[in-house]
Amino acid sequence: MRKTEEEIKRSYAKRRTWINVVWLLNFTLLPLLGVLYLLFRETEVLSKVIMVSLGAYCAFAIFVMWVIWRCPSCHMVFSRYVFDPKECPYCGVRLR
């Protein structure tokens, strides 16, 4: 069953929200974790917690980039260089 144009646009809007969350965390959480690690690298427990948090975030970001950041119509993965396409580069469906 093919999705309607409205369903595709709604699905793309949700996917774009997730990718925006990842980019926001890239510019806030990653520098914060880096600074915290530099400050607390002597403390064994805190440095491990920071590294586990960093690993968990990286797994989340990879999940979003490869599983969620796809065309809602043809399910092809968008290039990491395409931030907010107006149409899918593979199937040509309008996304917004």
pLDDT at residue number 37:
87
pLDDT at residue number 17:
92
CB 22, CB 82: distance < 8 Å = no
Asked if residue 13 has pLDDT above 90, the reply is yes
Asked if residue 1 has pLDDT above 70, the reply is no
pLDDT average, residue stretch 81-89: 82
User: Mean pLDDT across the chain, nearest whole number?
Assistant: 87
Q: How far apart, in whole angstroms, are the C-alpha atoms of residue 52 and residue 80?
A: 25
Q: How far apart, in whole angstroms, are the C-alpha atoms of residue 12 and residue 47?
A: 38
Percent of the chain exceeding pLDDT 90 equals: 15
Asked if residue 73 has pLDDT above 80, the reply is yes
Domain boundaries, the chain: 1-96
